[in-house]
Amino acid sequence: MRTPIESTDRRVRRSSRMLKEAFLELMREKGFSSITVQDIADKADMNRGTFYAHFPDKYALLESSIRDKFLKALNRELPPVAGWNAAHLRCSSDAYWNISRACTDAAIRRIR
């Protein structure tokens, strides 16, 4: 089964993106523990059924959002070459720690 981000249907990708954007706004406004699925759906101007078509719960949305941010940051940090060696491993390790330290979003820090 494809995840929403892997879907070739642009409407599915758009809905997923809108849910993630709404979720991140709500994280800044009120924190993870106070957010409900209905809050996310309302903020994204969608119904709860659409939310559940993309994610089983708000924890899965959180995981997906963190994964997306991390992968984007990792892609910026890692060299664009094929194959892995000790230098690449060191680089990816450094990138991980740099990205981890750079996560200054207070909402994300509250859930660590």
- pLDDT category, 5, cuts 50, 70, 90? very low
Domain 4-111 sits in CATH 1.10.357.10:
yes
Residues 10-67: pLDDT tens digits? 999 999 999 999 999 999 999 899 999 999 999 999 999 999 999 999 999 998 888 8
Nearest of 105, 108, 58, 104 to residue 44 by alpha carbon: 58
Per-residue pLDDT, 81: 66
The DSSP annotation for 30-81 comes to H-GGG--HHHHHHHTT--HHHHHHH-SSHHHHHHHHHHHHHHHHHHHHS---
Q: Which of 25-29, 83-87, 96-100 is predicted most confidently?
A: 25-29
Domain locations in the chain as residue ranges: 4-111
The amino acid at 6: E
